[in-house]
């Protein structure tokens, strides 16, 4: 298939590009590089042995998206393009609704014009909000706690309405849990600018000496060891989940379907740190600090629906996650 990846130069998009291209799909990237760098294209070329076409454009430019859909005879779109920092979304909600909701509407308008009606959407476990029960299954009530989560949920509602209005649409919304890790080559991975908000890139920066120590946000939660627990999923597992979703859309799905992509297991902050310490063979300097406002103690996925519909499960371990993160981090320093 000819597949367009909006936001394809980003963290999850670039790994998915590798998996799809290696599976024989023709992949086209579209990105405005607001949170990524064109240098990822050279690294993708090294991994794949060929260059992937990439168009620099904003998804909110409907005409530009329409041109790409026509020029590359696109059959399906995976819509990664979006902003994802929870704190920033609280400080600047308009930016998030404009980019994430308006961006999705613009993409859908372009797809409608060209008649491309197969779509995978990047959603998030954050749409569930405070757990009523765990693990979160796809029927868990949705009550996002911040504008970022709201922007994902509102987009899902638009997608559901669209699929009801026109039976030709095939749409899957994938709700990712906590994507971490890097490609085994160490050439691509997550490389946030400045001080990371998220645990895994923060650990990597402390391990490399870029940051002096890690702050653990609270150790008195009602969890196994008092620290927060999350469902960390290796980005290559996640990428393979997208390939499975594309096959599912091609072969079986009609209408709109929501599917969790997670491992179904939770790992605590201390457990993740100790797995990383094992990989690097030394201790990571850390302090317990106060809880981060808005953090939930624990959540993880009910991953059965992905297994049943997509024939997909996460296969990589926490050790794999730490090892590939460290490989990417070390390669970055040498480069």
Residues known to be catalytic: 148
Q: Contacts with ligand UFG in 242-281 (CB under 6 A)? A: 269
User: Which of residues 136, 176, 256, 312 is near ligand UFG by CB under 6 A?
Assistant: 176
* CB atoms closer than 10 angstroms to residue 252: 11
Within positions 111 to 140, which residues make up the interface with ligand UFG, using CB under 6 A? Answer: 124-126
Binding mask 302-331 for ligand UFG (x = CB under 6 A): ------------------------------
Return the range that interacts with ligand UFG (CB under 6 A); candidates 21-29, 69-77, 176-184, 321-329.
176-184
**Least spacing, CB of residue 4 vs ligand NAD, in Å:** 11
Is residue 178 involved in binding ligand UFG (CB under 6 A)? Answer: yes
Considering CB distances under 5 to 8 angstroms, the limit depending on partner class, which of ligand UFG, ligand NAD, none binds residue 59?
ligand NAD
Contact call for residue 104 and ligand UFG (CB under 6 A): no
CB nearer to ligand NAD: pick between 207 and 233: 233
Binding site for ligand NAD (CB under 6 A): 6-7, 9-13, 31-36, 58-60, 80-84, 99, 103, 122, 124, 176, 179
């Amino acid at each position: 298939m000819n597949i367009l990846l909006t936001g394809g130069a980003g963290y999850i998009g670039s790994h998915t590009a590798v998996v799809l291209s290696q599976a024989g799909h023709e992949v086209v990237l579209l990105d405005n590089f607001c949170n990524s760098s064109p240098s990822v294209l050279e690294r993708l070329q090294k991994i794949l042995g060929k260059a992937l076409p990439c168009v620099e454009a904003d998804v909110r430019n409907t005409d530009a998206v329409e041109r790409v859909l026509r020029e590359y005879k696109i059959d399906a779109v995976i819509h990664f393009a979006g902003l994802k920092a929870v704190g920033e979304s609280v400080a600047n909600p308009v930016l998030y609704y404009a980019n994430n909701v308006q961006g999705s509407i613009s993409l859908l308008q372009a797809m409608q014009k060209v008649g491309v009606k197969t779509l995978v959407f990047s959603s998030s476990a954050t749409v569930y909000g405070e757990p009523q029960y765990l693990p979160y299954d796809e029927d868990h009530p949705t009550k996002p706690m911040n504008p970022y989560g709201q922007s994902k949920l509102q987009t899902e509602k638009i997608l559901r309405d669209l699929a009801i209005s026109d039976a030709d649409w095939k749409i899957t919304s994938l709700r990712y849990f906590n994507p971490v890790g890097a490609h085994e080559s160490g050439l691509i991975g997550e490389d946030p600018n400045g001080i990371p908000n998220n645990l895994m890139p923060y650990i990597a920066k402390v391990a490399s000496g870029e940051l002096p120590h890690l702050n653990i946000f609270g150790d008195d939660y009602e969890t196994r060891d008092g620290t927060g627990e999350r469902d960390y999923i290796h980005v290559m597992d996640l990428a393979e989940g997208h390939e499975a979703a594309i096959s599912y859309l091609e072969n079986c799905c009609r209408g709109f379907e929501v599917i969790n992509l997670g491992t179904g297991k939770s790992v605590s902050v201390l457990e993740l740190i100790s797995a990383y310490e094992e990989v690097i063979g030394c201790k990571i300097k850390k302090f317990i600090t106060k809880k981060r406002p808005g953090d939930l103690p624990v959540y993880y996925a009910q991953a059965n629906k992905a297994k049943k519909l997509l024939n997909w499960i996460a296969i990589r371990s926490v050790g794999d996650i730490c090892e590939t993160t460290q490989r990417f981090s070390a390669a970055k320093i040498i480069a």
